Amino acid sequence: MAKVVITETLDAQCADWLAERCDVVWHRHDRPGLDAELADADALVVRTYTRVDEALLDRAPNVRVVGRAGVGLDNFDLAACRARGVRVVYTPDANTQAVVEYVFGLILDHVRPRTALEPGTDAEAFHALRKSEVGVELAGLTLGIVGLGRIGKRVATVAHALGMNVLGCDLLDEATIRKQLPGVPFTFVDHAALYAGSDVVTLHADGRPGNKQLISRDALTHFRDSALLINAARGMLVDHDALARWLDDNPDAFAALDVHDPEPPSGGHELYGRNNALLLPHLASRTDTALRNMSWVVRDVMAVLEGGEPKDAAV
């Protein structure tokens, strides 16, 4: 039987399915003894924090396929995998719905305050809350989407359904994006125009080197002084020092960050403890359905091990 090493968490149902077909070994990526397990492994299944690069592949000479139980491939050196003939399989649409719902949850948390009643709340406090807790409707607000891939396009569809105006920018050309978003009106703009025209900016760009600190000091000069910035994509997209200074200068602005660089953020992170910043522990894809969808990467791992062609392969 082929040997498959799992280095991070995996849905139990999917892990059991894999264990019926091969020899499964669980070994944390950050624990001693991993090299011994890699030495005779035929495949790996990883998630976010296992770095699949030349150094790891040197220690795993027999590996034919690596499964990424997730969407992004930022932790992979795809060129190194390709050079060694190692297939890389993943689950590109597994968490789209989960992330989209999460993004709109963050937006609604910001624009629609909801303070729960405490036991014993009297009539005066009850009516005071009704007067102070006045929110803003999403209809009529402008949402700027940086990156119109799978998630960005779904965000645009939901935003339109809720009556929001949509601005978008992407590396792909406008004509290509419009073909992929039939029936969803949006305005295709450059980054500066998107930042300047948006009440809410949500990031859905990928982790290519050119996107590092995309939200920089210069980019932030274009933002509205009351804008909401959401990052549920990749921590490296934001210059956190620049963001901290911008939040200092714009107390009516707000940033909700679900991802960080590095993860977890340090205890002295410059955005902790602010009234206009929210740091979250990378929760956007954490639903039962999404986690199971991602874990079913094991089907493609087995397809490769059995000599077949996987459904979703990056290499």
For the chain, domains (ranges, CATH) are: 3-94+289-305 (3.40.50.720), 96-279 (3.40.50.720)
Task: Please write down the HEC assignment for all residues of 289-309.
Answer: HHHHHHHCHHHHHHHHHCCCC
Which of the following is catalytic: 54, 133, 137, 263?
263
Cβ(187)–Cβ(215) below 8 Å: no
Which of the following is catalytic: 282, 286, 292, 299?
282
Q: Which residue in 19, 30, 22, 24 sits closest to 2, CA to CA? A: 22
* Predicted TM-score (pTM) of this structure: 0.92
Q: How many CA atoms lie within 13 A of 160 on its CB side?
A: 17
pLDDT of 268: 86
Cβ(230)–Cβ(103) below 8 Å: yes
Quick one: 277 exposed, middle or buried, by C-beta within 10 A (0-12, 13-18, 19+)?
A: buried
pLDDT of 267: 86
Which residues face 214 on adjacent strands? none
Tell me whether residue 110 is one of the annotated catalytic residues. Answer: no
Tell me whether residue 263 is one of the annotated catalytic residues. Answer: yes
Contacts of 295 (CB under 8 A, 6+ apart): 10, 11, 13, 14, 15, 69
pLDDT of 68: 98
Which of the following is catalytic: 29, 234, 240, 260?
234
Please spell the DSSP secondary structure of 223-276, one letter per residue.
S-TT-EEEE-S-GGGB-HHHHHHHHHH-TT-EEEES--SSSSPPTT-TTTT-TT
Walk along the chain (315 residues) and give the pLDDT tens digit of each residue: 999 999 999 999 999 999 999 999 999 999 999 999 999 999 999 999 999 999 999 999 999 999 999 998 999 999 999 999 999 999 999 999 999 999 999 999 999 999 999 999 999 999 999 999 999 999 999 999 999 999 999 999 999 999 999 999 999 999 999 999 999 999 999 999 999 999 999 999 999 999 999 999 999 999 999 999 999 999 999 999 999 999 999 999 999 999 999 999 988 889 999 999 999 999 999 999 999 999 999 999 999 999 999 999 999
Tally Cβ neighbours within 10 Å of residue 87: 22
Q: In whole angstroms, what is the distance from residue 167 CA to residue 200 CA?
A: 10
pLDDT of 109: 97
Q: Which two tokens stand for residue 163?
A: 């009556």
State residue 162 phi and psi, 5-degree precision. -90, 0
pLDDT of 307: 97
Cβ(124)–Cβ(242) below 8 Å: no
Q: Which residue in 70, 36, 67, 33 sits closest to 52, CA to CA? A: 67
Tell me whether residue 37 is one of the annotated catalytic residues. Answer: no
